[in-house]
Amino acid sequence: MKTVVPAARPLVSVATVPALLVCLAAPAFFVLLQPLLGWALLIAGLVVAALVERRGGRDAAPLASGTRAPSLVRDLSLIAAGMAVVSLIDLKAELDNAAMVRFTLALGGAVVVPYVISRWVYRDRAISFPWRGGGRWTTFQWVWLVLVLVLGWLILPFYFITSGVYMNWPVVDTPDLIARLFVGVGAVGIWDELFFICTVFALLRRHFADLSANLLQAIVFVSFLWELGYREWGPALTIPFALLQGYIFLRTRSLAYVVTVHLLFDAVVFAVLVHAHNPGLLDAIFFVSP
């Protein structure tokens, strides 16, 4: 049976309640560090979603033969599964072998598990990774890549150094540690787009207007970044970034482009962390020094 996403998706509806409960599990897991609360919110969200879906099934007009509306319970369960996998590890940034393996398994699992369930258990192919999307990049898209670097250079050194949040990342003062940081920052940046945009945002868009879905995914995105280390006044940066990445994905339909934007931004993050932990090394590049 083919799944058909309704053309008119509400900005707010009764279905917003269970979706919000599931998304609020993210700050419970990653900001408050209260796993029991996180699990309670996930379960409550899925239970309420089942009630909403049952009521909606009684009230909804029948669809064309051979088609069905996307299941709210199934889609929220995929988001819940991904968050549950990530919640199993401590997200404190570390660069030893064990930590890198732990991150690889947990973050990889958070993408793979929902994808596998969607494709081979639910058989609805709700999750996809449109690498090229809308075709060739426009002039504005190329200009935006340059602006991302400029904005990162202007904002990130001031944020990381004056707030002291660079201390949330381990000291990188050897070539080996610097190389590990480079790999880790880039890998997490790619994962962010695979999970928050191509999984969470895409699933929410099957039920809600783009604005609502974007706001909901930002709750999950920003909560993860908080535990990762973007604290103090970091949400003033990460909230706009999360919303902007969702908007860019809508406009471009290109995973390649949003990943490129993210990696350019993370390249500046990497350089700032190296600069902050090695005073004098990159003083000629950045205008703020530790």
The one-digit pLDDT tens for each residue of the chain (290 residues) are: 556 666 689 999 999 999 999 999 999 999 999 999 999 999 999 999 999 999 876 544 455 555 678 999 999 999 999 999 999 999 999 999 999 999 999 999 999 999 999 999 999 989 999 988 777 899 999 999 999 999 999 999 999 999 999 999 999 999 999 999 999 999 999 999 999 999 999 999 999 999 999 999 999 999 999 999 999 999 999 999 999 999 999 999 999 999 999 999 999 999 999 999 998 888 889 988 88
| 79 class by beta-carbon count within 10 Å (0-12 exposed, 13-18 middle, 19+ buried) | buried
Burial label, 9 (beta-carbon count in 10 A; 0-12, 13-18, 19+)? middle
Residues sharing a CB contact under 8 Å with residue 120, sequence separation 6 or more, in sequence order: none
pLDDT of residue 123: 93
pLDDT at 62: 53
Q: Please tell me the predicted confidence (pLDDT) of residue 8.
A: 82
Confidence (pLDDT) at 65: 55
Specify the pLDDT at position 182: 97
Q: For residue 231, what pLDDT is reported?
A: 96
46, 80 contact by CB (below 8 A):
yes
Torsion of CA 90, 91, 95, 101, to 10 degrees: 70
What are phi and psi for residue 3, nearest 5 degrees? -90, 130
**70, 77, 78: which is closest to 53 by C-alpha?**
70
Quote the tokens at residue 129: 């990774």
Three-state secondary structure call for residue 67 = strand
Read off the pTM: 0.94
**Rounded Cα gap, residues 129 and 254, in angstroms:** 9
Phi, psi dihedrals of residue 252, rounded to the nearest 5°: -100, -25
